[in-house]
Structure 1
Amino acid sequence: MRLVFALALTFALAACDDDESSFVRPEEDSSSSVCEDCDDASSSSVRSSSSAEPALSSAEGGEDLSSSSSVRSSSSVASSSSVRSSSSAPVEDLSSSSAKSSSSSAKSSSSSLESSSSEAYQHWFPLNGDLKDKYATFVDSRNGREYYYILMEANGKSLKVMAENLNIGEMVWGFKDQKDDSKIERYCYDDDTTKCDRYGALYQWAEMMQLPSECNTKSCADQIKPNHQGICPDGWRLLTYDDFKFIINSNGNTHGVEGTRSTFGFGGYNTTGFSLVGAGSNWDYNFTSLNSATYWHYPEESSQYTNEGSFYSSQGTNSTKNPRLETMKTHGFSVRCVMVE
C-alpha cells in the first residue's frame, strides 16, 4: 500500500509545476510557499518531504502519506498546569443554557487525568482583551473543564466558536494508537498532562470523529454526519474548513490567517479572537512543533486516500495562507468545536 501511495505521489508531484523539491520544518518557515493559491482550494494533491519532521511549506501544510514513521526529537518546553481562576478572567460569562453540555456521549471520558500545580496557568492569556465583550465561558459537564468561546460575526452571519482547544479523555502514551472505543482517549504533548491543560489535547481522526478506531485505516464516509459532533460536548460540533474561512473574515479582521493566531507567543494579531496557539502535534507517534505550529483535522476523509487519509489545516508562526491539505488519520492534532444553533 505504501508503494502505491509513493507511485501516486510521484505522478502528482510531476504534474505540479509550483511544488518545490524540499520542504522546511514548521519552525523554520521560509517566505516561499508551495501552492500559493490554496487559500480557498480543496486541492487533493499530497506533498512529499525529505524531512523526518512534519513538512510545512511556509508552515502552511504539506505532508507525505507514503512516508514511514521516523523518530523525531520532542520539545521539553515546560508549562505550568492549570486550575482556572474565574476571578482573574477578563470576560464575564455570557453563555446561555444552550451552551452548557449535558454529556450524552456514546463514549465515556473516563479519567481526565487533569494535573495541577502551585502555579495555575491562566487560560485567558492567549485571548484578545479588546474583544472581551465577544467572549463567554461554558463548562463541559463530562469533566468539569471550563472553556472560553467567542462570537464571530461577518456579513450579517455569526458563529460561536471555542477559543481554546478541546481537552477531554484519558491520556494514552504518544507511541500508541487511540483504539479503545469504549472511552475517549487523548494525547498530551510529551506525555505531560500539564501541556494538555495549557495547549489542549491531541487526537487521531477516528477519535475526534468518535467513530470506531478502525476508521483510521478504512473509509467510514457513510458514518460522517452533517454538523458532526464527534468528541465535542453536547450542543457543539466539529470545526469545518468553511467555518475556518468564515473565522478568518470575521470580527473586522484585516490580517488574514495572522488574525486567527494568538499574540501570546504565536506570531499573530488575533484580531478575530480565535486565539490559535502552537499546540504542536503527535506526528507518526512522535511529538513535534510545540510553540511553532498547530494542526487540526476536518470531519472529512481525504479524496484520494479515503482509507488512511483526512483533510486538515495548519498554521505556523509565520503562515500567511489557509491550506486545506491531506494527511494520515493517525496523526494526533488539536480539536476545536462550534456551537450548534
Structure 2
Amino acid sequence: MKKLYTLGFVALLFVGCSDNGSDAEDVFGPGKKKGKTVTVSGVAQRGFGETTASDSIQLGSRLAPEYWIGEWGESVGIDSAGNFSASVFGLKINYAELYSPSNIPLSAALDVSKSNTANVNYLTSLITESVWHYMEQGMAYEEAWSKAAKSLLKNLHMPENLTDFTHYSLYGEGEGDAMLAALSIVIERSVTWRVFEMDTATGLFREEEAFKKISANVAGLVYGDKLDSLRKAVEAQSPTGKVANYEKYLSEIFADGEGYDRCTAENQGKLIGYEDYYYASIVCDKSVWRKAHLGDFIGPKYNPDLTYGMYIDDRDHHVYMTINIGGKLWMADNLNYADSSATPNLAGQSWCYDNDSTNCNVFGRMYTWSAAMDLPSAFLDSSYDEKEGFHQGICPEGWHIPTDEELNSVTFEGSPLSSFMTGSDNASGFSVIPGGAAYAETEYGDSEEYTGVMHFEAMESYTNIWIRNEYNSRNAEAWYYRYSMEGGRSQAYSELNDKHHGFYVRCLKDY
C-alpha cells in the first residue's frame, strides 16, 4: 500500500452521486469483506495560473497517514482540460481520497457510496486532512466535512453556507463558483500555501496573522488597479469566456483586511481617501471596492459659486480659466504649453501623464524644474543665480512662476482643492486637481545616475506644483496637495523635491 503525506494546498473536482462502493464495509478498521472496485471521474482545477496538463491523479482510501484501509489504484493521467477517471480495487470502506501530487498537490475526501464524480480544487484540498482527522475522532463523514469546510470559510471571512466544494467550478455561474474563483486567485498569489494550514483542535489558521497576509495580496490588486486586467486574463482561460463575480468575494477579503465597511447597496459610490503606502483612493462600485478613477470624483472642477475669467495664451491659443484670490489673478488651470521649438528648454523635459495627450487636456502638463523655469537642463544639477523680481519661466508674457510665499498665501485663502479631490469645497476657486506626478528613475543603488525613464504615479490621488524657490543644485521646492478623508480636510504644504521630477505649473499674473 502507498502512503500519502500531509496535503496543504489543492485544486478542484466535480462530484456526482452513485451507489458505487455501497457494499463496502462502513467501519474504521480492516473489514472482512473482499472489498469493492470503485471508479471516480471528474475534473481537477488548479486555479487560473496553473495547468493540469501532464499531471496524474490516484484514488485510494485512508483515514490518517498511519492508518490505511484498502488499496491505492494506479496513477492515471489528467488531460489538458483537467478531466480524469481513476479506479481503486479492494476498497473495504466507503471513504476514499483523490490525490494529485504536482507542485501544488490536489486532494479531496469522498464518500464513494454516494458519489462517483468529483471536482477537486484548492478548497477540497485545504480541508482533506481535517476531514480525516474529525472522522478519526468519531464524527460521521458529513459532519466532519461540514466542520472542516466551515472552519476554513470562517478563517477566510467567507459565507459559511458555501461548503459544497466538490460541486463548485472555476467557470460556473453560482455563488459557490464565484467564491472558489476568488479564493483560487488569493491562494495562487500567496507567498506560501502554508499560510492556509489549520489547527484541527481550534479550527483556526496556524499562523496568527494569516488573514492579514492573505488580505494584503488582495489589497495589491485593488490599490494597484489590477482587477480589470485580471478579469480579462481569467476570462481568456474560461471555455465559455465567462467567470462568475469573484470580485465581490475578493472585495470582502480586502474590506475586512483593511478595516473598511464591506461594499454593499447601502454605500454604493462611497469614496475612501488613499492610504499613504498605496497612493490610491477607492470607491464602492456594485459590491466591489476598486481603485477610484476620474469619473468617480464628485463635483465640478471649478467652483460654480464663484466668477471665473478667461485667458488665451497668444503662443498656442490655449484657453485657461482665471480666478482672483486675495487681489491677485491666478490661472485656475495647470499650464499646458509644449512648444519646444519656440522654447528650446522644454525639449525632452515635459510630459503628459502616462505619455497620453488626453491627460494633458484634463490635468495640464508636467515639467522638470528647469523646464518650468525656462532654464537649460544643466540647471537640474547646478544652482541658478536667482534674480530679484518676477520670474516668467514658461508662463506667458506678463505672468510668472510663483514663489513659496505667493503660493502659500493662496493655498490658505480658503480651500484650494477642486471638488474633484474627494470632498473638498474649492472655496478659493484655485481648483487644484489630482494629476499625480512623474518621477525620474535612477540606476539601482545609485541616486546620481538617471535612466531617462519617468515613472508616473498617483493620478486622482494627489498633485505637486513647482515654485521658483531653489534649495540647492539638486533640489527645488514644490507644493503638495491632497484631500484626506480622515478628518475631512485638505492637506497642502511645501516640500523639497528632485529637480528632475515632473510636476505641474500654475502661473500668477504680474502685479
User: Fold conserved (TM > 0.5)?
Assistant: yes
Cα shift readout 1:78-120 (whole Å, capped 9, x = no counterpart): 89xxxxxxxxxxxxxxxxxxxxxxxxxxxxxxxxxxxxxxxxx
Contact 1:268 1:317 in 2 (8 A): yes
Aligned residue in 2 for 1:163: 332
Amino acid at match of 2:396: P
Residues 1:292 and 2:456 aligned together: no
Distance 2:378 2:496 in 1: 19
- List aligned pairs for 1:23-172, cutoff 5 A: 28-29=274-275, 125-132=300-307, 135-153=308-326, 158-170=327-339
Which among 189, 197, 200 is matched to residue 364 of structure 2? 200
Distance 1:182 1:209, change over 3 A: closer
Distance 1:182 1:152, change over 3 A: closer
Contact 1:188 1:201 in 2 (8 A): yes
Let me know the Cα RMSD of the aligned residues: 3.3
Contact 1:180 1:213 in 2 (8 A): no
Aligned residue in 1 for 2:393: 230
Contact 2:353 2:437 in 1 (8 A): yes
Cα shift readout 1:241-261 (whole Å, capped 9, x = no counterpart): 2122221343xx3xxxxx110
Residues 1:334 and 2:334 aligned together: no
Compute the displacement of 1:184 (Å): 8.4
Aligned residue in 1 for 2:404: 241
- Gap regions ≥5 residues in structure 2: 1-223, 225-272, 281-290, 441-453
Contact 1:236 1:340 in 2 (8 A): yes
Distance 1:232 1:266, change over 3 A: farther
Compute the displacement of 1:28 (Å): 2.9
Which among 264, 273, 292 is matched to residue 420 of structure 2? 264
Count of matched residue pairs: 211
Compute the displacement of 1:138 (Å): 0.8
- Gap regions ≥5 residues in structure 1: 1-24, 31-50, 57-74, 80-123, 172-178, 254-258
Contact 1:261 1:267 in 2 (8 A): no
Distance 1:300 1:224, change over 3 A: farther
Aligned residue in 1 for 2:478: 312
Compute the displacement of 1:317 (Å): 2.3
Compute the displacement of 1:268 (Å): 1.3
Amino acid at match of 1:150: I
Cα shift readout 1:264-323 (whole Å, capped 9, x = no counterpart): 344311000000000110012200010100001210111xxx111011110112164432
Compute the displacement of 1:230 (Å): 0.3
Contact 1:293 1:316 in 2 (8 A): yes
Compute the displacement of 1:186 (Å): 2.2
Distance 1:203 1:76, change over 3 A: farther
Cα shift readout 1:100-158 (whole Å, capped 9, x = no counterpart): xxxxxxxxxxxxxxxxxxxxxxxx940001012xx1001001111000010112xxxx1
Contact 2:338 2:346 in 1 (8 A): no
Contact 1:29 1:316 in 2 (8 A): no
Distance 2:427 2:439 in 1: 29
Distance 1:337 1:278 in 2: 17
In terms of fraction of residues, the more helix-rich structure is 2
Distance 1:225 1:149 in 2: 25
If asked which structure has higher relative contact order (CA below 8 Å, sep 6+), I would say 1
Distance 1:215 1:317, change over 3 A: same
Aligned residue in 1 for 2:237: none
TM-score normalised according to structure 2 size: 0.38
Aligned residue in 2 for 1:186: 350
Distance 1:209 1:288, change over 3 A: same
Contact 1:266 1:278 in 2 (8 A): no
Amino acid at match of 2:476: S
Amino acid at match of 1:226: G
Contact 1:202 1:334 in 2 (8 A): yes
Distance 2:417 2:354 in 1: 23
In terms of fraction of residues, the more strand-rich structure is 2
Cα shift readout 1:217-243 (whole Å, capped 9, x = no counterpart): 1111x1444211100000101122212
Percent identity over the alignment?
27
Contact 1:184 1:231 in 2 (8 A): no
